[in-house]
Amino acid sequence: MGAATYYDDDGALTDPFRLARSLCLYGAAHAGVAAVDRVFPDFRNADALRSEAEAAVRDGFTAKLAIHPGQVAVINEVFTPSPEVIARAQAIVAAFAAAPGAGVVGFEGEMLDLPHLAKAKALLERAVDPPVS
């Protein structure tokens, strides 16, 4: 594309690269495959890598590419579900199991539907068999 940089003055991805990242996420979701976030090229900046990886988890990515072995520990830490996140996913699966055939359940003050169940099951599957970085 001939871009001089991926980032704007505030350090955020510029629009063309934000669009490409979003299309990758949507395409992976549609295809039912893991959504893998892009590499973070500043391999010596662990804090910025952590921030970008946390944003990727927030947005729905399930993995992130590493460009340097020094990045693997941070990426694995951020993308490995915490015990609290695993417990919540287990509780969501249990809530649906307690209401066979229900398309919606009440859970901790929220109404959850089948996409929430699918997300919880996928998270539990990744927690048991995490991808290799």
The one-character DSSP state at 63 is: E
3-state secondary structure of 104: strand
Neighbours of 12 (CB within 10 A): 12
H/E run at residue 56: helix 46-59
37 is catalytic: no
**Per annotation, catalytic residue among 8, 42, 113, 129:** 113
Over its C-alpha atoms, the chain yields an Rg (Å, rounded) of 17
DSSP percent split of the chain into helix, strand, coil, nearest 5? 55, 10, 35
Q: Catalytic residue positions?
A: 113
